[in-house]
Chains A and B, each alone.
Chain A
């Protein structure tokens, strides 16, 4: 009787832990985000597995749509410290048709997450331009999380002549 009770408790606990962990890691926050929120003061090498995990955590099991994101980057950048970047989300910005969060990732950086932009409903067009750093020539990826659950992804390769010092 005692053994049976213990076993049931064990399975229940395992189930709860599994549910919690699956929710905690797939709520759209990238894995390294928590890590980055500290003032990081040590050297770290770029890790392709880590970037794949971040992308997976952002996208999850949602459906990916093409031609939602327009991305403008130069084909070749002379200086890796200053790579100009503009993106535009093709949406009306009415009621539910707006991007909640837009992630910008440089895939070969030690910290691939470059920026997260947040937009609000009926507050202008979703177009942003800024400058980012890149260590080597690699892909730049923009992931748009729409408010109604859709996801748009665009990816472009940038050739960097002189990488940002690291």
Chain B
């Protein structure tokens, strides 16, 4: 079953601006300490271990999580806009299953033209 992953940010920004990127993952984040009341069996740990943010394929931010992070983890951080391109967030599970969410960021210069990641020489 596909779990919900969310990625929100300002789509069009100026050059040099700090973009706030807000992410949300739907996950139970079982701590491995909780015990079933009836049977006394401990639920095995299952958490999101790491979140990696990439901006045009380059790692920009990294988070390593342990069992102290709340369920349905929300995470907000900043990146600096330099050129328009792909923003990719990767969530990695305890079972090493990964899920992705991608989006396009458009960066404008002072005249209102888009700054493209690839420069074509004429």
Interface residues of A (CB under 8 A from B): 36, 39-44, 81-83, 106, 109-120, 122-134, 165-166
Contact = CB atoms under 8 A, between A and B. Distances in A.
In order of increasing CB-CB distance, the 4 nearest A-B pairs are A114-B68, A118-B62, A124-B78, A124-B79
A117 B63 contact: yes
B101 interface: no
26 contacts: A39-B46, A41-B32, A43-B33, A44-B33, A81-B70, A81-B71, A109-B68, A110-B33, A111-B67, A115-B63, A115-B68, A116-B64, A117-B61, A117-B63, A117-B64, A118-B61, A124-B77, A124-B80, A125-B18, A125-B78, A125-B80, A129-B74, A129-B76, A130-B74, A133-B68, A133-B70
Is the contact region of chain B dominated by helix, strand, or loop, or is it mixed? strand
Is the contact region of chain A dominated by helix, strand, or loop, or is it mixed? loop
Given A81-B70, A131-B74, A132-B68, A120 B59 contact: yes
Given A39-B44, A120-B59, A124-B80, 20 more contacts: A39-B32, A40-B32, A43-B33, A81-B71, A82-B70, A109-B68, A111-B67, A111-B68, A113-B68, A115-B64, A115-B66, A116-B63, A118-B62, A119-B61, A120-B61, A123-B55, A130-B69, A130-B73, A133-B70, A134-B68
